[in-house]
Amino acid sequence: MTTRAGRVIAQAKINLMLRVLARESSGYHQLETLFARIDLGDVVTVKTAPGQRSLRCEGLAATAGAMGPPERNLAWRAAEAYAAATGFPSGFAIDIEKRVPVGAGLGGGSADAGAVLRILNALSPAPLSPAELLALAGALGSDVPFLTTESPFALAWGRGERMLVLAPLAARDVVLALPGFSISTPEAFRWVSEGLGWRVAQPLLIEADALGSWAGVSAIAGNDFEQPVAMRHPLIAELSTVLTGAGARIAQLSGSGSTVFGVFDAPPDRLALEASLRAPAVYTRTATRVVAVEVLE
């Protein structure tokens, strides 16, 4: 079989709303979340390479030593899962140019895994159906199914594998404030469930119209991880306050952190933000489309 290759920008995500519901007997928690892709993404290239398996990661965000061994990398595991399920490819070489901070609640690693699945499906002589691809994605983690779809905006529940895909909202400026620490996801889930105790989730009524405008989305915004994480890391609350003060219509933790993002209706004043934010800032926008896979050869 000839060597084939594909490439895509693995756009990261923010969670505009995130609720942690019941803990299953497996230890995993049911979630309810509103995902939006952002323009910031890693560049992921996959080459089918008979008899070989490799992963190369480069770029600023990869130098922090936070990447771990290749076999544990979610992008590698995505390729292995695809090959095990379909028999294609017989080998792979994955190349990731890291631009998304690692361990930051932006789904960078999950977006890379989603990108690998999409690329392999674009190269495969017998592609999987969208439902089959989602089943593979769901086994890799709660953010991977959304980051495998072609939709930039979706309400997801269960373990992230059940989704209502939504028409994208108009693009907005997003500021990502990056505290210098990462937060362990299992630990953050533990903090939330300790705080929730046996509290029954509050009733929630979402009007379909609310998901069609930024005003509606702002009304249901929030993240159950924010309070327990901010209790242990006061900088989180401070960054959220600064972003709100700078005009963000939504300012909150993304995923289990540690990134605090702000969504702005008008371009934010970068000089003023840099003077008041006690964390590095990255400027991006919400995405209105998911970048298509480019088949290279």
What's the chain's length in residues?
297
- Is residue 29 near ligand C5P by the rule CB under 6 A? yes
Closest distance to ligand C5P from the beta carbon of 110 (Å): 7
Quick check: 105 binds ligand C5P (CB under 6 A)?
no
Binding residues among 113-172 for ligand C5P as defined by CB under 6 A: 141-142, 159
Sort strands 53-58 and 92-97 into parallel, antiparallel or unpaired: parallel
Residue from 146, 189, 191, 261 in contact with ligand C5P (CB under 6 A) = 189
**Contact (Cβ atoms closer than 8 angstroms) between residue 260 and residue 180:** no
* Among 12, 16, 31, 246, interactor with ligand C5P by CB under 6 A: 31
Output 19 or 159, the one with its CB closest to ligand C5P.
159
C-beta of 108 vs 141, nearer to ligand C5P:
141
Pairing of strands 153-158, 92-97: unpaired
Taking Cα atoms as reference points, which of 92, 8, 7, 22 lies closest to residue 50? 92
Among candidate residues 13, 47, 98, 224, the one labeled active-site is 13
At closest approach, how far in Å is the CB of 198 from ligand C5P? 17
186 binds ligand C5P (CB under 6 A): yes
Please report which helix (H) or strand (E) contains residue 59, including its range.
Answer: none
Give yes or no for a contact between 144 and 158, defined as CB atoms under 8 angstroms apart: no
CA dihedral defined by 46, 49, 53, 55, rounded to 10 degrees?
-30
Residues touching ligand C5P, count (CB under 6 A): 10
Question: According to CB under 6 A, which one of 3, 28, 181, 267 is a site residue for ligand C5P?
Answer: 28
Among 86, 124, 151, 185, binds ligand C5P (CB under 6 A): 185
What's the CA gap between 158 and 160, in Å, rounded? Answer: 5
CB of 31 to ligand C5P, least distance (A): 5
By the 10 Å C-beta count (0-12 exposed, 13-18 middle, 19+ buried), 95 is classed as: middle
Residue 265 catalytic?
no
- Those residues with Cβ within 8 angstroms of residue 267's Cβ, 6 or more apart along the chain or in another chain: 173
User: Could you say which of 42, 112, 143, 224 is catalytic?
Assistant: 143
> Is there a catalytic annotation at residue 47?
no
Contact residues for 243 (Cβ-Cβ < 8 A; gap 6+): 175, 177, 251, 260, 261, 262, 273, 277
- AA identity, residue 194: E
Q: Which stretch binds ligand C5P (CB under 6 A): 33-41, 99-107, 183-191, 246-254?
A: 183-191
One character per residue 241-280, x = contact with ligand C5P (rule: CB under 6 A): ----------------------------------------
Which residues are designated catalytic? 13, 143
> Which residues are near ligand C5P by CB under 6 A?
27-29, 31, 141-142, 159, 185-186, 189
